[in-house]
Structure 1
Amino acid sequence: MLFSKRIALAALALALPAGISQAAPFIDVLDLPAQRSELAASNPLLDLAEAGKRLVAVGQRGHILYSDDGGKTWSQASVPVSSDLTAVHFATPTLGWAVGHDGVVLHSSDGGRTWTKQLDGRQLGRLMLDAYANHPDAERWLEEARRIESEGADKPFLDVWFEDERNGFIVGAFNLIFRTRDGGQSWEPWTDRTDNPSAFHLNAIGYDGRDLFVVGEQGLVLRLNPASERFEALTSPYQGSFFGVIGQPGSVLVYGLRGHVFRSTDGGANWVQVNTGLPVSITASARDASGHLYLLSQAGHTLRSLDGGASFQAVETGPLVPVSGAVAQAETGLVLAGNRGLSLRALAPAQQE
């Protein structure tokens, strides 16, 4: 669901003649700093990332929080927008990026304590118009760029991934994808470099140590070809939507609708379905320092794999709550983000399964 990009300031009670009152002016959430709240850690949060030993969470109304004690306590970061944020990624312990609705891209250079805006949806159409002016198939892509520009800043980015402090990708709705080679100082549209003619949403991006994958609607699975600089479509094992991808050297997992999970050990050339025993969607994943993999459902189920994702077993972590982001830590167990905010879940030692 796309949220409105404009919000009203608190109404001002003005004693005007003849009983006339004047509504407070509207302000674009792209220009309104996130409001501080003592309840921020209990409000909906959508993603988590590790920034060295620090944890950083992002969510609705531009809220970003960070924790230096494994998720036990949280502090609210300074954020220049109030747009809903959907994903966060750190390339180093200090350099991170967050993305969200209204085409927002934020950058932190201090481990998530403070953020600056690098890009928003008001700029996307112009970036595309400039980039595609001399494209071999210019009219096709200029038409798309003009549409993006005319519709305004209403397109969300859904995920972000950086290889290092300079090179990264952001992906989102309707085949939106941009690349930076200078740490976000400039962005290059890659809409023309995806095998996605139906413009399905690009829901997630992930790396397995060798290949970079993007997954999306209706079973879309793309893999970057570094030589051609193009995301090429792979034969999909499933026609339902994928919501995430997690990899490690030797294997990659894609997961999504109705508990469907598939694993490949050959870079996505072939896929084997992994039985989860769940009828609900898988919406988050994590990997701990030992290489154990975790999958979490929108209903709060937790699954753990000790064999690189070939099989999963259910893990008891307490009351079920919806999960949209997760980090696995040796000291505290699972740190979870969801529509009820942030929570900690202890894990039984793996050998006890």
Structure 2
Amino acid sequence: MFSVFRLLAPALAVALSMSPASAAPAGFVDPLVLPAQPSPLASRTLVNGVAAAGKRLVAVGQRGHVLYSDDQGGSWRQASVPLSTDLVALTFADAHEGWAVGHDAVVLHTTDGGASWRRQYDGRRDVLAGDKPLLDIWFDNAGHGLAIGAFGLALRSDDRGRSWRHCEELLDNPRALHLNAIRMVGDALYIVGEQGLVLRRTAGAERFEALPTPYQGSFLGVTGDARTLLVYGLRGTALHSEDGGRNWQRANTGTQTGLTAGAVLADGALLLVSQSGQLLRSRDGGASFAPMAGIPPGSAAAALPLDSQRLLIGGARGLRVQPLK
């Protein structure tokens, strides 16, 4: 799922890359060394990403916080995490194995459904990655994965994350634009980023090709199904395509607020979530979206449909389950 961090990624990434280690204040403890600290308020603080591990729900956020719920969001427990770097996104291959990414090019791995995590990678091991944030991650069931982030950072693993290597040369991104989200839609893998960047890797291919779009702002996420591809981002912008991104139509979202999350609901409707918590639903394949009534405002960085009636939302004030009726 997708983080509001991506709204600030360009500025924050530049600040991170220009901050020398010598500027650390007295008493500073390296977040790559300090384990995430237990907090009774962790479920009420910033959450950037949410995902399902089988029937379990897992969320990641600031200061290395990882939370998991075995009662569909009724209560949350804090996971054991070996660092306190901010985490941005996560994905699961099955009910047990998953990965999370965040600042300092961190990649974490779990084999117990998110209850405990270990480090697989961080930027201290790689001068090319350094303290650049990784913003999203994807894995298939065979253990092939990609992690993407700021300044075009792209890492690849073919052994379930035991080893990682740079793969920027496989992406048609010569200006090293920020890469904000990665998602499989239909039988192709898509990456979206700043300045209207949409990349596609078709089944069996190695390289990601750039797809021209009629928008030059930042895309923050991508979703869809076998019929419709939907990309979305700043200023309420969403584009939909019925041919895998060869041709685009601009969606009527009715908002100028940044769109931070998207999903396909159980009934096939497309859902977009704005950073202010507004839920927008489309029943015409993404051509137009209408606001869902009775939804209270609130920060939203990530969203996950739980069933046809409920949506898990994470944001600046933590986690909440939102009824869809």
Q: Give the TM-score normalised by structure 1.
A: 0.83
Aligned residue number for residue 275 of structure 1: 252
State how 1:228-239 maps to structure 2 within 5 Å.
228-239=205-216
The aligned amino acid for 1:265 is E
CA–CA distance in 1 between the matches of 2:69 and 2:148? 26
CA–CA distance in 1 between the matches of 2:251 and 2:319? 28
Aligned residue number for residue 101 of structure 2: 99
Larger CA deviation: 202-211 vs 311-320: 311-320
State how 1:134-213 maps to structure 2 within 5 Å.
148=128, 153-213=130-190
Aligned residue number for residue 248 of structure 1: 225
* Structure 2, gaps ≥5 residues long: 1-11
Task: Kindly indicate whether residue 277 of structure 2 is the aligned counterpart of residue 300 of structure 1.
Answer: yes
Matched residue pairs, number? Answer: 308
- Asked whether the 8 Å contact 1:288–1:329 carries over to 2, the reply is no
CA-to-partner distance for each residue in 1:29-65, whole Å, 9 max, x for gaps? 1111100000000010101001111110000000000
Match of 1:121 among 120, 123, 138: 123
Identical columns (%): 51
Q: Give 1:227 shift.
A: 4.8
Larger CA deviation: 338-347 vs 37-46: 338-347
CA–CA distance in 2 between the matches of 1:334 and 1:287? 11
Aligned residue number for residue 142 of structure 1: none
Match of 1:111 among 105, 110, 113: 113
The aligned amino acid for 1:345 is Q
The aligned amino acid for 1:255 is Y
Q: Secondary structure at the match of 2:125?
A: helix
Aligned residue number for residue 138 of structure 1: none
Aligned residue number for residue 83 of structure 1: 85
Aligned residue number for residue 284 of structure 1: 261
Q: What value does the CA root-mean-square deviation take over the aligned residues?
A: 2.0
> Greater relative contact order (Cα 8 A, min sep 6): structure 1 or 2?
2
Aligned residue number for residue 30 of structure 2: 28
Residues 27, 196 of structure 1: CA spacing in aligned structure 2 closer, same or farther, 3 A cutoff?
same
Q: Secondary structure at the match of 2:124?
A: helix
Larger CA deviation: 282-291 vs 169-178: 282-291
- Asked whether the 8 Å contact 2:254–2:289 carries over to 1, the reply is no
The aligned amino acid for 2:186 is G
* Structure 1, gaps ≥5 residues long: 8-22, 126-147, 349-353
CA-to-partner distance for each residue in 1:142-173, whole Å, 9 max, x for gaps? xxxxxx26xxx310000011121511111000
CA–CA distance in 1 between the matches of 2:308 and 2:56? 13
CA-to-partner distance for each residue in 1:114-136, whole Å, 9 max, x for gaps? 111100011233xxxxxxxxxxx
Q: Give 1:305 shift.
A: 2.3
Aligned residue number for residue 140 of structure 1: none
Q: Secondary structure at the match of 2:43?
A: helix
The aligned amino acid for 1:306 is R
The aligned amino acid for 1:294 is L
The aligned amino acid for 1:162 is F
Q: Give 1:196 shift.
A: 1.0
CA–CA distance in 2 between the matches of 1:212 and 1:56? 23
Task: Kindly indicate whether residue 313 of structure 2 is the aligned counterpart of residue 336 of structure 1.
Answer: yes
The aligned amino acid for 1:161 is W
CA–CA distance in 2 between the matches of 1:218 and 1:205? 16
The aligned amino acid for 1:245 is V
State how 1:256-267 maps to structure 2 within 5 Å.
256-267=233-244
Q: Give the TM-score normalised by structure 2.
A: 0.90
Q: Secondary structure at the match of 1:71?
A: coil
